[in-house]
Amino acid sequence: MKKLSFLILAMAATLALQAQWVDAPATNTFIANCGNDDGEIYLSTCPATGDTYVQWEGSSTNGWSPTLQRLNFEGVPQWGADGIHIEAYEFSSYSEGVAMVSTADGGVVSCFADYEGYTYAVKINPDGTFAWGEEGLRLFDGQGFSRTEIAAGEEGGCWALGSDYERLFLQFVADDGTMGPTVTISSNSGMKCMFGQLTISKDNNVFVTYEQVGNGFYAEKSVHVVGYTTDGAQIAPDELLMSTQTFQTTYIHHAIADGAGGGYVYIWHPGIDEAFNVYVFHFDEVGNSTISDVNGIPVHSTDPSNFYLSANATVDPSSHDLIIAFEQTDAATQSQSRVYLNRITTTGEKVWGEGIVATDYLGDTYSDVKVDAFEDGSGFSLVYTQTGSNPYFTTIEAMGFDMDGNPLWTRSLCTNAYRRTMCDNSTGFNLGQNIVAWINATNGGLYGQNFGTDGTMGPIEIPEPCLAPTNFEGSYVYNSEDQTFGALLTWDAPETQPLWYNLFISLPDGNTIHASIDPTETEYYHELNVSATITYRLTATYEHCESDYALTPDGEDYVSINVTGIEENLDDEIVTIMKIFNANGQSLQVKDLNELNTGLYILQGLTKDGRLTSRKVVVK
């Protein structure tokens, strides 16, 4: 086993003083040394810490192998000048396909196939130590040997997906390295199952979207979706999203979670009317297609004189609509270039019709398009490279838009003249910051640039954390003050006091009502006079954001109160108090409610017909 070598701490400290995000598009921020032909750059930011991991591949003594670097929120590299190189395995001289994702516990997982054809997952902690050992874990019971996909699950675990060009292999790995069963996805019709993508759903479940592919360069292809739990159980039947089309196998689909448990799929191909177009599909949280047209929704009307392709998409966290950017080029010479935007709902409505032209044709060409939604749902950014007649003068540009598609700002992220190898993805906005990276083919340096939702480059202040209340609980109680029954809801306040709390009350008729609660309160009494089940959810509102739903001690994001009958509860009213207990179950030496302080108590006593019963009581 090969050993990793680290630079001495003094050098790392010097680097930390020199490297941080700059507002300098002519120089940008240096991240690491690498080869000038290196590439396959992936980025992933931990939403909780704001730390970003960068992975790239290049030729080394052990083949075309991955290296990783960790940046803190300020853009300072944390793992020496050149990052951590994966050296425990031999790799091919070309990429077998790698993947990388940051995990919920602040670490990073690199997933790859080695020269012998086995797939491995290596997890690295923020301090550079190996959580699952330097050799990591062999996945899929030794099956796979092809391109890997990976997605972060809950509590530091991850989902991994591999292929042997005939079947797909799926496996969940917990934060401590415990591996779930290997799930095999195959076709009974003799088709190959390939090009899988992962989207995380609710309860740490995952959806796999994949293609069933025939033989040959031009082949029949269809797109399917199927969901699984971490123990390998299938949660929904295999669903057809895209009906069979015939086109080049190299054009494959992309998938992105919709933030509500389902996901979008988009793909560009010339299989319909022999003209390239981008088609969008959607499935809900149980894996059912929500778009009736099995050919998908085209982002633009099919136009034989123009191609619409090379799409990239994000999801608005508020509406869960898809924001998709795509390139237009003329079919005859493919020399013209524009970038379009469109907004598509879960049912396939095109909110912006034929789309919005973000960058018109000015004689240059556009590529490496990336689009990312702001975290608060107020807008999104567009990043692209712009190249003129000189291919060695490619700039990196960024634009901001509101959710109506109106431009907010424009910014040049990198203006220096040299050939660049762009990252395969951007980080998306985390704590108000988005990041792209590239390799300078002239000097072999890996560079990056951050920017905020307002186009700011360089140092960005971390916004106030959007913390949710914790320990959300509720019970059905009797209010001694006004002699009513109702739900008493309690919670622990977050560390940062919000402006107010939002309580969402789901009623039996399907309607939801809303109550705003003073930020100094940590309980709420809701009188109930119906026999039904009432569901409550709680958030905290801050100046710039609203938190996620508060979780119960059991990890649920709601509290349900079951009211079996008001009259029945009145019959159980205590007329003679025998004992009084506090909320911790301690017996009190009092039998009169007037002697008690404000709080929740448990009474034990006799009803008017002489039955012994217990009841929770709120004393105010």
- Structural domain boundaries in the chain: 1-14+38-186, 470-619
For the segment 83-136, what is each residue's pLDDT rounded down to a tens digit? 999 999 999 988 888 999 999 999 999 999 999 999 999 999 999 999 999 999
The answer to whether 422 and 368 have CB atoms below 8 angstroms apart is: yes
> Quick one: pLDDT band at residue 508, thresholds 50, 70, 90?
confident
Phi then psi for 459, rounded to 5 degrees?
A: -55, 130
> Quick one: pLDDT band at residue 595, thresholds 50, 70, 90?
confident
* Interval 359-377 mean pLDDT: 94
Average pLDDT, the chain: 89
For the segment 54-81, what is each residue's pLDDT rounded down to a tens digit? 999 999 999 999 999 999 999 999 999 8
Which region among 243-257, 325-339, 437-451, 454-468 has the lowest average model confidence (pLDDT)?
Answer: 454-468
| DSSP H or E segment with residue 566 | helix 566-571
The terminus-to-terminus CA distance of the chain in angstroms comes to: 68
> Quick one: pLDDT band at residue 16, thresholds 50, 70, 90?
very low
d(CA 324, CA 239): 23
Which region among 226-240, 302-316, 333-347, 497-511 has the lowest average model confidence (pLDDT)?
Answer: 497-511
Q: What percent of the chain has pLDDT over 90?
A: 69
Which region among 18-22, 140-144, 167-171, 562-566 has the lowest average model confidence (pLDDT)?
Answer: 562-566
With DSSP H G I counted as helix, E B as strand and the rest as coil, what are the percentages for the chain, rounded to 5?
Answer: 5, 50, 50
d(CA 310, CA 365): 13
User: How many Cβ atoms sit within 10 Å of the Cβ of residue 528?
Assistant: 18
Q: With 0-12 CB in 10 A as exposed, 13-18 as middle and 19+ as buried, what is 282? A: buried
The answer to whether 533 and 560 have CB atoms below 8 angstroms apart is: yes
Distance set, CA 331 to CA 28, 268, 303, 357 (Å)? 36, 14, 9, 18
Quick one: pLDDT at residue 15?
39
Q: Is the dihedral of CA 114, 116, 119, 120 positive or negative?
A: negative
- Taking 70 as the threshold, does the pLDDT of residue 18 lie above it? no
Prediction pTM value: 0.78
The answer to whether 550 and 501 have CB atoms below 8 angstroms apart is: no
For the segment 520-576, what is each residue's pLDDT rounded down to a tens digit? 999 998 887 767 788 999 999 987 778 999 999 988 999 998 876 544 455 566 777
> Which pairs count as long-range contacts for 579-586, CB under 8 Å and 24+ apart, including other chains?
579/603, 579/604, 579/605, 580/604
Tell me the two tokens of residue 152.
Answer: 């972060």
- Taking 50 as the threshold, does the pLDDT of residue 1 lie above it? no
User: How many Cβ atoms sit within 10 Å of the Cβ of residue 181?
Assistant: 14
Three-class secondary structure of residue 443 per DSSP:
coil
* Interval 173-201 mean pLDDT: 95
More confident residue, 603 or 487: 487
- Taking 80 as the threshold, does the pLDDT of residue 586 lie above it? no
Tell me the two tokens of residue 470.
Answer: 């914790």
Q: Apex CA 489: angle with CA 483 and CA 494, to 5°?
A: 145
Please name which of 94, 217, 205, 97 lies closest in space to residue 159, comparing C-alpha atoms: 205
Q: What is the largest CA-CA distance in the chain?
A: 95
- Taking 60 as the threshold, does the pLDDT of residue 442 lie above it? yes
The answer to whether 281 and 295 have CB atoms below 8 angstroms apart is: no
d(CA 195, CA 246): 16
Amino acid at the residue 578: M
d(CA 372, CA 49): 19
Tell me the two tokens of residue 472.
Answer: 């959300």
Quick one: pLDDT at residue 62?
95
The answer to whether 431 and 453 have CB atoms below 8 angstroms apart is: no
d(CA 488, CA 474): 5
Q: How many CA atoms lie within 13 A of 428 on its CB side?
A: 18
> Quick one: pLDDT band at residue 585, thresholds 50, 70, 90?
low
d(CA 138, CA 494): 40
Q: What percent of the chain has pLDDT over 70?
A: 92
Bridge partners, 228 (sequence order):
206, 234
Quick one: pLDDT at residue 6?
30
In sequence order, the 6+-apart residues with CB closer than 8 A to the CB of 17 are none
Quick one: pLDDT at residue 528?
79
According to the CATH classification, is domain 470-619 in 3.90.1150.10?
A: no
Q: How many CA atoms lie within 13 A of 492 on its CB side?
A: 8
Quick one: pLDDT at residue 4?
32
Helices (H) and strands (E) in the chain, counts: 2, 43
The answer to whether 589 and 450 have CB atoms below 8 angstroms apart is: no
Distance set, CA 538 to CA 183, 463, 492, 514 (Å)? 37, 22, 11, 10
d(CA 134, CA 5): 13
d(CA 611, CA 371): 67
For the segment 321-358, what is each residue's pLDDT rounded down to a tens digit? 999 999 999 999 888 899 999 999 999 999 999 999 99
User: How many Cβ atoms sit within 10 Å of the Cβ of residue 249?
Assistant: 18
The CA radius of gyration of the chain, in Å to the nearest whole number, is 28
Three-class secondary structure of residue 475 per DSSP:
strand
In sequence order, the 6+-apart residues with CB closer than 8 A to the CB of 544 are 376, 463, 464, 466
* Interval 363-378 mean pLDDT: 94
* Structure-token match 């003129």, residue found: 388
Quick one: pLDDT at residue 13?
34
